[in-house]
Structure 1
């Protein structure tokens, strides 16, 4: 009888995984799913604020993955994390790594993907150019704000993992006997919400309604109160790619309640919880919030918001995507459930 563990180890023998500072707990969880250990590296800061990072093990000819989620925290800004990741990828390429894949659960600047005012930057494209400049062979992320813009910005291969699979697995068991409607908080998120709605409907074996809220943004001010779709007497699931200040989610939750929703739950991939999000999302109109662990909810304190928050583990999904990339398998099939 063939030992499956030995088969897995042999198949992944040429794979090396690093996780930079701040993303180490996430990286450790990923490698546990693969039966591997993180490769050793050094990160060193200097008195003038500069830094260096280097692998402490040989990478020549190896298939290397570097895990680093680019959200700002108390230790490093998103800019600093991006710079550290780019320099480390450059060091790996200079050390003759065969292929280097950046695994970026949360990709900074993904929201600035188009010009909204005269002479605006298109920062997503600039970030893509930086990854390419240091020799990145591929970039893996989860639920970018605008998939088309992300794919068009990069010339190297990209993979966008979707949290829908995680959300469906979480919600489906409790919704078998409920009337449900999936709500997009704006017209731009309808495709994302529709993908989730179809998956959820298939999982629970019954129709799921669709709705979307009106949203206008001008000079940082968000407005719009109209809700299109039937929510009366149903459980409303608001689906979005991220929560920042929480204003969009709270406004949509109130609109659902005003139109008779039985219960309102928000699900968003990246929980940034900036500014007054704790206060805004403590609104009684919102019964619960579900996010993914691409960004730890470190900004939240004990209280009403944290009490209704659930964080889903995405590390197994990332691990499987990385394994398939290493072995030449299909990430598309993974997202389709195959």
Structure 2
């Protein structure tokens, strides 16, 4: 099937600012739509521009904010996707930089839900052609949950470009806060080695979680007198990163830079991340860090813009090109 000629971007009103950034990189603006709320809590959503035969992208992270819960956004997103499909979109792609429920991808207790799979089924019911996300919690689980093409991007190159000047003359170790994160930490370590043109260490620590309690103290890796880039896919409460940072400092690390693609930030994160063990916090703008508020944690925060990378991926997709390694991660 030929790629439709015209690219159109849509987004819910709640997250239009990020979609506008992506659109600027593509030399366009988000297409117009209507969201109408009713007194009984129901609402409707419809495109206000002709989409028939076009290559349509809905740019929308799934996360809660002060006005809408993640579940409110999910149903609105499904209604928008459905309306666009019914209006005759030639190809329909959901670009969801932060994908809610992606962490619940397997059963850890009897009768546990597979929330990621259920989310995929809801999105697929709107007859989308493909889905695109960034640094999902578990890549294999994400790809297996969707029966449509599930494209994956990484902010790795954006992060390295930001970090390189400060790491140029330092002994560096890339560290994961747990064993499971090694598959995320090691590609970053390899990419940093290529950029810095010298060896970069790898470290991780033991972590067990049961009924909300975290335990485990064993540490592996070279940390003494090193700058540690502590990497994770997201920061929620910040407890996992703060716990690892404290352990790595006790093991001799000179400096801890905590990095995560998605700054979810729960209500307690401002207090947890204020710990002096973490010197800098770096996240992307896949979602706004509104819960972090003001204070010590916010003062340490740097937000990197990934809208240009999202735009390049959309352009590659529209032109029928493979999304290359620089975009995939």
Fold in common (TM above 0.5)? yes
Equivalents in 2 of 1:21, 1:226: separation in Å? 46
Deviation at 1:13, TM superposition (A): 5.3
TM-superposition CA deviations, 1:265-309 (whole Å, max 9, x none): 100011111031111110011101000101111112221001100
Deviation at 1:329, TM superposition (A): 1.0
CA contact (8 A) 1:226 1:255 kept: no
Give the equivalent residue in structure 1 for 2:316: 324
Q: CA RMSD in A?
A: 1.3
Give the equivalent residue in structure 1 for 2:107: 115
Give the equivalent residue in structure 2 for 1:158: 150
Equivalents in 1 of 2:149, 2:324: separation in Å? 13
**1:315 is aligned to 2:307:** yes
User: Superposed, which structure 2 residues align to 1:24-103 within 5 Å?
Assistant: 24-103=16-95
CA contact (8 A) 2:154 2:328 kept: no
Equivalenced residue count is: 327
- Equivalent of 1:168, from 160, 174, 177? 160
Q: Secondary structure at the match of 1:255?
A: helix
Runs of 4+ in 1 over 3 A off after TM superposition: none
Equivalents in 2 of 1:295, 1:133: separation in Å? 25
TM-superposition CA deviations, 1:204-250 (whole Å, max 9, x none): 11110000011100011111222111100000110000000110000
User: Superposed, which structure 2 residues align to 1:114-153 within 5 Å?
Assistant: 114-153=106-145
Q: Secondary structure at the match of 1:228?
A: strand
Alpha-carbon distance change, 33 to 147 in structure 1, aligned in 2, over 3 angstroms: same
Give the equivalent residue in structure 2 for 1:7: none
Equivalents in 1 of 2:169, 2:112: separation in Å? 48
Equivalents in 2 of 1:32, 1:150: separation in Å? 29
Give the equivalent residue in structure 1 for 2:180: 188
Alpha-carbon distance change, 182 to 334 in structure 1, aligned in 2, over 3 angstroms: closer
Q: Secondary structure at the match of 1:299?
A: helix
Q: Secondary structure at the match of 1:80?
A: helix
Deviation at 1:158, TM superposition (A): 1.2
Q: What TM-score results when the alignment is normalised by the length of structure 2?
A: 0.97
Deviation at 1:336, TM superposition (A): 6.5
Equivalents in 1 of 2:223, 2:21: separation in Å? 38
CA contact (8 A) 2:316 2:323 kept: yes
TM-superposition CA deviations, 1:127-174 (whole Å, max 9, x none): 111111111111111111010000001011111111111111111122
CA contact (8 A) 1:22 1:68 kept: no
Gap runs ≥5 in structure 1: 1-10
CA contact (8 A) 2:201 2:222 kept: yes
**1:255 is aligned to 2:244:** no
Give the equivalent residue in structure 2 for 1:3: none
Give the equivalent residue in structure 2 for 1:306: 298
CA contact (8 A) 1:180 1:237 kept: yes
Deviation at 1:332, TM superposition (A): 2.9
Equivalents in 2 of 1:88, 1:16: separation in Å? 14
TM-superposition CA deviations, 1:309-334 (whole Å, max 9, x none): 00000000000000000000121344
Equivalents in 1 of 2:194, 2:138: separation in Å? 25
Q: Secondary structure at the match of 2:291?
A: coil
CA contact (8 A) 1:184 1:193 kept: yes
**1:273 is aligned to 2:241:** no
Give the equivalent residue in structure 2 for 1:237: 229
User: Superposed, which structure 2 residues align to 1:9-24 within 5 Å?
Assistant: 14-24=6-16
Equivalents in 2 of 1:230, 1:307: separation in Å? 29
CA contact (8 A) 2:46 2:83 kept: yes
- Equivalent of 1:178, from 164, 170, 174? 170
